[in-house]
Protein backbone atom coordinates (compact mmCIF):
# COMPACT_ATOMS: atom_id res chain seq x y z
CA UNK A 1 0.00 0.00 0.00
CA UNK A 2 2.87 2.37 0.74
CA UNK A 3 3.90 2.16 -2.90
CA UNK A 4 0.40 3.06 -3.93
CA UNK A 5 0.46 6.21 -1.81
CA UNK A 6 3.85 7.43 -2.97
CA UNK A 7 2.89 6.47 -6.52
CA UNK A 8 -0.23 8.58 -6.36
CA UNK A 9 1.80 11.52 -5.06
CA UNK A 10 4.29 11.50 -7.89
CA UNK A 11 1.51 10.53 -10.28
CA UNK A 12 -0.49 13.65 -9.55
CA UNK A 13 2.57 15.73 -10.38
CA UNK A 14 2.92 13.95 -13.71
CA UNK A 15 -0.77 14.56 -14.24
CA UNK A 16 -0.33 18.31 -13.81
CA UNK A 17 2.49 18.36 -16.34
CA UNK A 18 0.46 16.17 -18.68
CA UNK A 19 -2.43 18.64 -18.55
CA UNK A 20 0.02 21.36 -19.54
CA UNK A 21 0.99 19.31 -22.60
CA UNK A 22 -2.64 18.74 -23.41
CA UNK A 23 -3.61 22.40 -23.29
CA UNK A 24 -0.99 23.36 -25.84
CA UNK A 25 -1.70 20.31 -27.95
CA UNK A 26 -5.41 21.10 -27.91
CA UNK A 27 -5.02 24.61 -29.24
CA UNK A 28 -2.04 24.27 -31.56
CA UNK A 29 -1.26 20.60 -32.15
CA UNK A 30 2.26 21.21 -30.89
CA UNK A 31 4.02 19.12 -28.28
CA UNK A 32 6.00 21.57 -26.24
CA UNK A 33 9.34 19.98 -25.39
CA UNK A 34 10.02 22.86 -23.01
CA UNK A 35 7.11 21.95 -20.74
CA UNK A 36 9.45 20.26 -18.26
CA UNK A 37 11.59 23.38 -18.09
CA UNK A 38 8.66 25.33 -16.72
CA UNK A 39 8.32 22.79 -13.93
CA UNK A 40 11.95 23.38 -13.08
CA UNK A 41 11.47 27.16 -13.33
CA UNK A 42 8.50 27.03 -10.96
CA UNK A 43 10.72 25.42 -8.35
CA UNK A 44 13.52 27.89 -9.04
CA UNK A 45 11.22 30.90 -8.74
CA UNK A 46 9.77 29.78 -5.46
CA UNK A 47 13.27 29.10 -4.16
CA UNK A 48 14.55 32.55 -5.06
CA UNK A 49 11.47 34.31 -3.76
CA UNK A 50 11.46 32.45 -0.47
CA UNK A 51 15.15 32.32 0.32
CA UNK A 52 16.85 35.06 -1.67
CA UNK A 53 14.23 37.77 -1.30
CA UNK A 54 12.57 36.48 1.88
CA UNK A 55 9.06 36.91 0.57
CA UNK A 56 6.41 35.10 2.62
CA UNK A 57 4.96 32.05 0.94
CA UNK A 58 1.48 33.54 0.53
CA UNK A 59 2.90 36.20 -1.80
CA UNK A 60 5.70 34.15 -3.26
CA UNK A 61 3.40 31.43 -4.60
CA UNK A 62 1.25 33.65 -6.87
CA UNK A 63 4.27 35.68 -7.95
CA UNK A 64 6.14 32.53 -9.01
CA UNK A 65 3.13 31.28 -10.95
CA UNK A 66 2.60 34.64 -12.57
CA UNK A 67 6.27 34.75 -13.53
CA UNK A 68 5.96 31.38 -15.20
CA UNK A 69 2.79 32.50 -16.99
CA UNK A 70 4.57 35.55 -18.41
CA UNK A 71 7.51 33.42 -19.46
CA UNK A 72 5.19 30.98 -21.18
CA UNK A 73 3.54 33.79 -23.13
CA UNK A 74 6.95 35.20 -24.03
CA UNK A 75 8.07 31.75 -25.10
CA UNK A 76 5.27 31.56 -27.62
CA UNK A 77 5.81 35.14 -28.72
CA UNK A 78 9.56 34.76 -29.24
CA UNK A 79 9.90 31.25 -30.59
CA UNK A 80 6.73 29.74 -31.92
CA UNK A 81 5.18 32.68 -33.72
CA UNK A 82 8.18 33.48 -35.87
CA UNK A 83 8.59 30.01 -37.30
CA UNK A 84 8.03 30.76 -40.94
CA UNK A 85 7.80 27.24 -42.29
CA UNK A 86 5.52 25.59 -39.77
CA UNK A 87 6.49 22.00 -40.51
CA UNK A 88 6.31 19.55 -37.67
CA UNK A 89 10.08 19.14 -37.75
CA UNK A 90 10.66 22.87 -37.35
CA UNK A 91 8.17 23.15 -34.51
CA UNK A 92 9.75 20.24 -32.66
CA UNK A 93 13.21 21.68 -33.13
CA UNK A 94 12.19 25.15 -32.01
CA UNK A 95 10.67 23.91 -28.77
CA UNK A 96 13.80 21.85 -28.15
CA UNK A 97 15.84 24.99 -28.77
CA UNK A 98 13.66 26.87 -26.31
CA UNK A 99 14.08 24.19 -23.68
CA UNK A 100 17.87 24.22 -24.06
CA UNK A 101 17.95 27.99 -23.68
CA UNK A 102 15.76 27.94 -20.58
CA UNK A 103 17.86 25.17 -19.04
CA UNK A 104 21.11 26.94 -19.85
CA UNK A 105 19.87 30.22 -18.41
CA UNK A 106 18.68 28.46 -15.27
CA UNK A 107 22.14 26.95 -14.89
CA UNK A 108 23.74 30.37 -15.26
CA UNK A 109 21.40 32.04 -12.81
CA UNK A 110 20.98 29.40 -10.12
CA UNK A 111 24.08 27.29 -10.61
CA UNK A 112 24.50 23.54 -10.82
CA UNK A 113 23.79 22.70 -7.19
CA UNK A 114 20.64 21.16 -5.86
CA UNK A 115 18.64 23.80 -4.02
CA UNK A 116 16.74 22.85 -0.90
CA UNK A 117 13.21 24.06 -0.36
CA UNK A 118 11.53 23.47 3.00
CA UNK A 119 7.97 22.26 3.34
CA UNK A 120 5.36 24.94 2.94
CA UNK A 121 3.11 23.44 5.56
CA UNK A 122 4.13 21.89 8.88
CA UNK A 123 5.36 18.36 8.25
CA UNK A 124 3.03 15.69 9.58
CA UNK A 125 2.72 12.06 8.79
CA UNK A 126 -0.76 10.76 8.33
CA UNK A 127 -1.47 7.14 9.11
CA UNK A 128 -3.49 5.43 6.43
CA UNK A 129 -4.40 1.83 5.81
CA UNK A 130 -1.09 -0.11 5.84
CA UNK A 131 1.03 2.91 5.10
CA UNK A 132 1.72 6.53 5.77
CA UNK A 133 1.52 9.69 3.73
CA UNK A 134 3.19 13.00 4.44
CA UNK A 135 1.45 16.34 4.53
CA UNK A 136 3.49 17.43 1.52
CA UNK A 137 2.02 14.61 -0.52
CA UNK A 138 -1.49 15.51 0.55
CA UNK A 139 -0.84 19.07 -0.58
CA UNK A 140 0.44 17.86 -3.96
CA UNK A 141 -2.53 15.59 -4.54
CA UNK A 142 -4.97 18.25 -3.39
CA UNK A 143 -3.50 20.94 -5.62
CA UNK A 144 -3.51 18.78 -8.72
CA UNK A 145 -7.07 17.61 -8.14
CA UNK A 146 -8.19 21.19 -7.60
CA UNK A 147 -6.44 22.43 -10.73
CA UNK A 148 -7.79 19.72 -12.97
CA UNK A 149 -11.30 20.21 -11.63
CA UNK A 150 -11.03 23.96 -12.13
CA UNK A 151 -9.68 23.56 -15.67
CA UNK A 152 -12.40 21.17 -16.68
CA UNK A 153 -14.99 23.69 -15.61
CA UNK A 154 -13.08 26.47 -17.34
CA UNK A 155 -12.99 24.62 -20.63
CA UNK A 156 -16.51 23.26 -20.51
CA UNK A 157 -18.50 26.14 -19.08
CA UNK A 158 -16.84 29.49 -19.70
CA UNK A 159 -16.80 31.58 -22.86
CA UNK A 160 -13.00 31.63 -22.95
CA UNK A 161 -12.77 27.92 -22.47
CA UNK A 162 -15.06 27.43 -25.43
CA UNK A 163 -12.83 29.73 -27.49
CA UNK A 164 -9.89 27.47 -26.69
CA UNK A 165 -11.77 24.41 -27.78
CA UNK A 166 -12.98 26.08 -30.92
CA UNK A 167 -9.40 26.83 -31.93
CA UNK A 168 -8.57 23.19 -31.71
CA UNK A 169 -11.48 22.11 -33.84
CA UNK A 170 -10.86 24.54 -36.66
CA UNK A 171 -8.61 27.59 -36.48
CA UNK A 172 -10.06 29.33 -39.50
CA UNK A 173 -13.65 28.82 -38.45
CA UNK A 174 -12.78 30.04 -34.97
CA UNK A 175 -11.25 33.23 -36.30
CA UNK A 176 -14.27 33.79 -38.54
CA UNK A 177 -16.44 33.64 -35.42
CA UNK A 178 -14.42 36.46 -33.94
CA UNK A 179 -12.01 34.52 -31.76
CA UNK A 180 -8.53 35.94 -31.60
CA UNK A 181 -6.65 32.73 -32.40
CA UNK A 182 -3.22 34.24 -31.82
CA UNK A 183 -4.29 35.37 -28.39
CA UNK A 184 -5.65 31.94 -27.56
CA UNK A 185 -2.47 30.24 -28.65
CA UNK A 186 -0.40 32.67 -26.63
CA UNK A 187 -2.53 32.13 -23.56
CA UNK A 188 -2.46 28.39 -23.91
CA UNK A 189 1.32 28.52 -23.67
CA UNK A 190 0.95 30.81 -20.68
CA UNK A 191 -1.48 28.50 -18.91
CA UNK A 192 0.67 25.47 -19.67
CA UNK A 193 3.68 27.21 -18.17
CA UNK A 194 1.54 28.20 -15.20
CA UNK A 195 0.53 24.58 -14.65
CA UNK A 196 4.10 23.44 -15.00
CA UNK A 197 5.09 25.96 -12.36
CA UNK A 198 2.33 24.75 -10.04
CA UNK A 199 3.76 21.28 -10.36
CA UNK A 200 7.26 22.61 -9.85
CA UNK A 201 6.35 24.54 -6.71
CA UNK A 202 4.31 21.71 -5.26
CA UNK A 203 7.03 19.15 -5.75
CA UNK A 204 9.97 21.33 -4.71
CA UNK A 205 9.94 20.37 -0.99
CA UNK A 206 9.85 16.68 -1.92
CA UNK A 207 12.45 16.43 -4.65
CA UNK A 208 14.29 19.81 -4.34
CA UNK A 209 15.28 21.70 -7.46
CA UNK A 210 18.16 21.42 -9.90
CA UNK A 211 18.55 23.16 -13.24
CA UNK A 212 18.57 19.78 -14.93
CA UNK A 213 15.20 18.50 -13.65
CA UNK A 214 13.27 19.66 -16.67
CA UNK A 215 14.11 16.83 -19.04
CA UNK A 216 12.86 14.09 -16.77
CA UNK A 217 9.70 15.81 -15.63
CA UNK A 218 8.87 16.86 -19.17
CA UNK A 219 9.26 13.35 -20.49
CA UNK A 220 7.24 11.79 -17.72
CA UNK A 221 4.51 14.35 -18.16
CA UNK A 222 4.46 13.55 -21.85
CA UNK A 223 4.24 9.84 -21.25
CA UNK A 224 1.39 10.43 -18.84
CA UNK A 225 -0.35 12.53 -21.47
CA UNK A 226 0.15 9.89 -24.15
CA UNK A 227 -0.93 7.14 -21.84
CA UNK A 228 -4.23 8.79 -21.13
CA UNK A 229 -4.66 9.93 -24.71
CA UNK A 230 -3.24 13.23 -25.91
CA UNK A 231 -5.72 16.03 -25.60
CA UNK A 232 -7.91 14.67 -22.84
CA UNK A 233 -7.58 16.19 -19.36
CA UNK A 234 -8.96 13.32 -17.38
CA UNK A 235 -6.86 11.04 -19.54
CA UNK A 236 -3.81 13.01 -18.46
CA UNK A 237 -4.69 12.62 -14.81
CA UNK A 238 -5.41 8.94 -15.23
CA UNK A 239 -2.14 8.44 -17.13
CA UNK A 240 -0.19 10.37 -14.54
CA UNK A 241 -1.47 8.31 -11.66
CA UNK A 242 -1.00 5.00 -13.47
CA UNK A 243 2.55 6.04 -14.35
CA UNK A 244 3.32 7.14 -10.81
CA UNK A 245 1.96 3.97 -9.25
CA UNK A 246 3.62 1.60 -11.71
CA UNK A 247 6.88 3.45 -11.20
CA UNK A 248 6.61 3.06 -7.44
CA UNK A 249 5.89 -0.65 -7.73
CA UNK A 250 8.65 -1.11 -10.25
CA UNK A 251 11.08 0.59 -7.89
CA UNK A 252 10.14 -1.87 -5.19
CA UNK A 253 11.08 -4.85 -7.35
CA UNK A 254 14.11 -3.64 -9.30
CA UNK A 255 17.02 -1.43 -8.21
CA UNK A 256 15.71 2.10 -7.94
CA UNK A 257 18.11 3.46 -10.54
CA UNK A 258 16.05 1.77 -13.23
CA UNK A 259 12.90 3.55 -12.08
CA UNK A 260 13.15 6.26 -14.74
CA UNK A 261 13.74 3.69 -17.46
CA UNK A 262 10.37 2.24 -16.55
CA UNK A 263 8.62 5.49 -17.51
CA UNK A 264 10.25 5.43 -20.92
CA UNK A 265 9.53 1.78 -21.44
CA UNK A 266 5.89 2.60 -20.82
CA UNK A 267 6.02 5.45 -23.36
CA UNK A 268 7.51 3.14 -25.96
CA UNK A 269 5.00 0.37 -25.39
CA UNK A 270 2.08 2.78 -25.48
CA UNK A 271 3.35 4.53 -28.59
CA UNK A 272 3.95 1.26 -30.36
CA UNK A 273 0.75 -0.52 -29.52
CA UNK A 274 -1.82 2.11 -28.71
CA UNK A 275 -0.72 5.59 -29.79
CA UNK A 276 -4.16 7.00 -29.14
CA UNK A 277 -3.73 6.24 -25.44
CA UNK A 278 -5.55 3.95 -23.09
CA UNK A 279 -8.57 6.20 -22.77
CA UNK A 280 -8.27 7.97 -26.10
CA UNK A 281 -10.79 7.44 -28.84
CA UNK A 282 -9.34 9.82 -31.35
CA UNK A 283 -7.53 8.21 -34.21
CA UNK A 284 -3.84 8.97 -34.01
CA UNK A 285 -1.97 9.36 -37.24
CA UNK A 286 -0.40 6.08 -38.20
CA UNK A 287 0.43 4.79 -41.61
Q: Which stretches of the chain bind other proteins, using CB under 8 A?
A: 30-31, 33, 79, 82-85, 88-90, 92-94, 96-105, 107-108, 215, 219, 222-223, 226, 255, 257-258, 260-261, 264-265, 267-268, 271-273, 275, 284-287
Measured from the CB of residue 116, what is the shortest distance to other proteins in angstroms? 22
Compute the radius of gyration of the chain from its Cα atoms.
18
Q: Are 32 and 93 contacting, i.e. CB atoms less than 8 angstroms apart?
A: no
Q: 128: which strand partners?
A: 131
CB of 53 to other proteins, least distance (A): 24
Rounded (5°) CA angle 118-119-121: 145
Q: How far is the CB of 95 from other proteins (least distance, A)?
A: 9
Beta carbon of residue 268, minimum distance to other proteins (angstroms, whole number): 5
Which is closer to other proteins, CB of 134 or CB of 232?
232
Q: How far apart are CA 287 and CA 2, in angstroms?
A: 42
Considering the complex, state which of residue 19 and residue 143 has its C-beta at the smaller distance from other proteins: 19
Question: Which of 109, 123 has the CB closer to other proteins?
Answer: 109
The smaller minimum CB distance to other proteins, of residues 171 and 274, is found at 274
Identity of the residue, 163 or 243, whose beta carbon is nearer to other proteins in the bound complex: 243
Please, which residue, 92 or 206, has the CB nearer to other proteins?
92
CA 269 to chain centre: 21
Q: Which is nearer to other proteins, 40 or 102 (CB)?
A: 102
CB of residue 50 to other proteins, shortest distance in Å = 25
Nearer to other proteins, 1 or 261 (CB): 261
Q: CB of residue 177 vs other proteins: minimum separation in angstroms?
A: 28
Least separation, in Å, of the C-beta of 109 and other proteins?
A: 11
CB of 253 to other proteins, least distance (A): 14
Amino acid sequence: MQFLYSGITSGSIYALIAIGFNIIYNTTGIINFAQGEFVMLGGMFIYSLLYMMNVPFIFAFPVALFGAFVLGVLFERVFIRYVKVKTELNLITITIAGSIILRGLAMLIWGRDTLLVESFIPAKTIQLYEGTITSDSVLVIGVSLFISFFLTIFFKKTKYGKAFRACYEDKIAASVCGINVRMVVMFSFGIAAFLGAVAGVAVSPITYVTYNDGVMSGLKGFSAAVMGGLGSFWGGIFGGIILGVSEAFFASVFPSGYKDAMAFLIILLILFFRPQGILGRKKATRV
